[in-house]
Structure 1
Amino acid sequence: MSALYELTITRHIAAAPDRVWQVMAHRTDEWWCPVPWRADTSGWERRAGGSAATTMHGPDGEVHEHGGVFLTWDEGRRFASTDAVTADFAPAGPFMIGIWEIAPEGQGTRYTARARHWTEEAMRQHEEMGFAEGWTACADQLAALCEG
Structure 2
Amino acid sequence: MSDETPNQLSVTRYIAAPPAKVWDVMAHRQEEWWCPVPWRVEIDEQDRRPGGACRMTMYGPNGEVAPQDGIFLAYDEGRRFVTTDAIVGDFQPAGPFMIGIWEIAPEGEGTRYTASARHWREENRKTHEQMGFVDGWAACAAQLAAICENERA
TM over 0.5: yes
Counterpart for residue 107 of structure 2: 105
- Structure 2 alignment gaps of length 5 or more: none
Greater than 6 Å deviation, 4+ residue runs: none
Aligned residue runs from structure 1 range 91-130, under 5 A: 91-130=93-132
List runs of 5+ in structure 1 lacking aligned partners.
none
Q: Work out whether residues 41 and 55 of structure 1, in 8 Å CA contact, stay in contact via their aligned partners in 2.
A: yes
Q: Note the C-alpha offset of 1:3.
A: 5.4
User: How well do the aligned residues superpose, as a CA RMSD in angstroms?
Assistant: 1.3
Q: Does structure 1 residue 60 correspond to structure 2 residue 62? A: yes
Question: What is the CA deviation profile of residues 96-146 of structure 1, one whole-angstrom value per residue up to 9, with x for unaligned ones?
Answer: 000000000000000000000001110000000000010000000000000
How does the TM-score come out when normalised to structure 2? 0.93
Alpha carbons of structure 1 residues 106 and 38: separation in structure 2 relative to 1, 3 Å: same
Give distance in 2, aligned partners of 1:105 and 1:45.
29
Aligned to 1:17: 19
TM-score, normalization by structure 1: 0.96
Cα distance between partner residues in 1 of 2:109 and 2:84: 32
Task: Give the % identical residues.
Answer: 63
Shift of 1:4: 3.4
Tell me how far 1:87 sits from its aligned partner.
2.5
Is the strand fraction higher in 1 or 2? 2
Distance in 1 (CA, whole Å) between partners of 2:114 and 2:43 is 20
